[in-house]
Amino acid sequence: MDTFNTINDLIQATRTAGEIVYIKGKGAINDGEGGPMYIQTAAQFGGTPDNVTSFAIADNNVAVYLAGSSRVLPDGAGLAASGKGFYDVSPRIPRLTDGRLDFWIEGDTQTTSGFGSSTMWRNENIGSTKVTTQEELTLGVDIPSVPTAKFYSRTVVTSIAGSSNFVRKTQRIEGVRTYAGQTIVISLFGRVDAAKNVAVELVQNFGTGGSPSAEVTGIGSQKILLTTDFERKSAIFDVPDLSGKTIGTDGNDYLEFIVWFDAGSNFNSRTDNLGQQDGTFDVACFQDDIGTEIKPFYEFGPKESVDRLNRHFENLEPNVTGASFAIGRQVNVINCSFVFKTQVEMRAPPQTQESAGADFVVLLAPDVESVSSLISFTSENSVFSVTYSVTISGTFSAAGAGAAELQSVNTNAFIRFDSRL
């Protein structure tokens, strides 16, 4: 039998779909201050108990079954004695990755369209131009309600007239099934150089492979007014269900969240007629929640933040000379093989990116023969590992199959695994 001090402690410890646990004791149906709750399974009780509250866990939602007289839930809501109630007491994990904008691995300034600065966010433009930069929040002043937030994204837009021109910031959330048929709210902190609107939108994309359905755009499109001070703004979206839809077979379907800063007339239906505009747009601390209520910002710890990022993007960049990237083996006089195990299961077998071959050196045992000036990396990838075949520019003195080590020869060396959508 386990003991928990609060209902949230219980829920976080029992995230198993379909599992039913029973609560008894002083803290049975309050905020836990009345004393510890004692948790038992039906088998431990010897069957379903009478006059005991039970929680059925399913996808972080908690169905509350009440027997006997009416009880009061932690928010003060009452449930009739006759039936079953529903109450979500578990912390909802946002599906947007790095909403706090912690990671800027590829750079802190970006003018190109696509990825290139805030790691999990696309900064896109066509026709109109932009400069996206990492900026630092003033601690305790800009967004005091989220003290762990350090950065915000600034996008300086130069609008060029054109019906197909735009500037926007987007993230593609893994899986088009995400939130399908549900109402959600997405919030952000934003400010501008002078009061003006941005627009927000969701897109359901059914991926590629086979005969997937056409993407659905303009979901919940609406304008949001920003001012010159950081304020938390939100938008409510009714996400369509997937009835009659077909998802592609390539595993790259997604739900996309878009913030539009500048949009030509071709996008009027997707941007609530936002139109084209210059401006300096600062945004930070994005969060998605089920329902219509804005929840307190969910502040992930360092390890959780990195693990969530690593599902989509892993960066090996030691920034020191002589750092060991991997131990592998010599294959022949010009090739070595190295296996990298990914930190977590990645969304899909990743694309790989490496800095210049001259940034690396191969050391062979037992004589510790050193060869730098690598010609190329080729790889075979899965969601759990990346196997590199490294080709050198010269030859090793022996063809043996001894151990090999891949090291950096300067501070520029990096290897990256990318499975972002």
Q: What is the 3-state secondary structure (H, E, C) of 53-82?
A: EEEEEECCEEEEECCCCCEECCCCCEECCC
Residues 6+ apart with CB under 8 A from 204: 176, 180, 215, 216, 219, 239, 240, 255, 256
Both 126 and 254 in one domain: the answer is: yes
Classify residue 167 as exposed, middle or buried by CB count within 10 Å of its CB (0-12, 13-18, 19+): buried
Both 215 and 286 in one domain: the answer is: yes
Number of Cβ within a 10 Å radius of residue 126: 14
- 125: domain CATH number is 2.60.120.260
Cα separation, 309 vs 118, in Å, equals 12
Both 278 and 323 in one domain: the answer is: no
Answer with the one of 266, 301, 336 that is the final residue of a domain: 301
Both 12 and 63 in one domain: the answer is: yes
Answer with the one of 280, 301, 322 that is the final residue of a domain: 301
321 occurs within a structural domain: yes
Rounded (5°) CA angle 406-410-414: 60
Report pLDDT digits (tens) over 398-416: 666 678 889 998 999 999 9
Tokens found for residue 217: 């755009």
Both 196 and 175 in one domain: the answer is: yes
Task: Check whether 39 has a pLDDT greater than 50.
Answer: no
Both 288 and 366 in one domain: the answer is: no
CA 279 to chain centroid, in Å, comes to 27
Both 175 and 66 in one domain: the answer is: no
Cα separation, 332 vs 279, in Å, equals 58
Tokens found for residue 38: 């004692």
Report pLDDT digits (tens) over 165-216: 999 999 999 999 999 999 999 999 999 999 999 999 999 999 999 999 999 9
Task: Check whether 218 has a pLDDT greater than 90.
Answer: yes
Q: 340 pairs with which residues across the strands?
A: 386
182 occurs within a structural domain: yes
Both 276 and 396 in one domain: the answer is: no
Report pLDDT digits (tens) over 370-398: 565 566 678 889 999 999 988 887 777 76
DSSP string across 206-258? --SSSSPPPPEEEEEEEEEEE-SS-EEEEEEEE----TT----TTS--EEEEE
Tokens found for residue 129: 């131009």
15 occurs within a structural domain: yes
How much is the pTM? 0.78
Among 142, 161, 229, 157, CA closest to 194: 229
Cα separation, 414 vs 412, in Å, equals 7
Among 154, 221, 166, CA closest to 190: 154
Answer with the one of 275, 301, 327 that is the final residue of a domain: 301
Both 80 and 176 in one domain: the answer is: no
Predicted pLDDT at 191? 98
Q: How many domains does the chain have?
A: 3
pLDDT band for position 369 (cuts 50, 70, 90): low
195 occurs within a structural domain: yes
Average of per-residue pLDDT values in the chain: 81
The domain in which residue 64 lies consists of 2-86
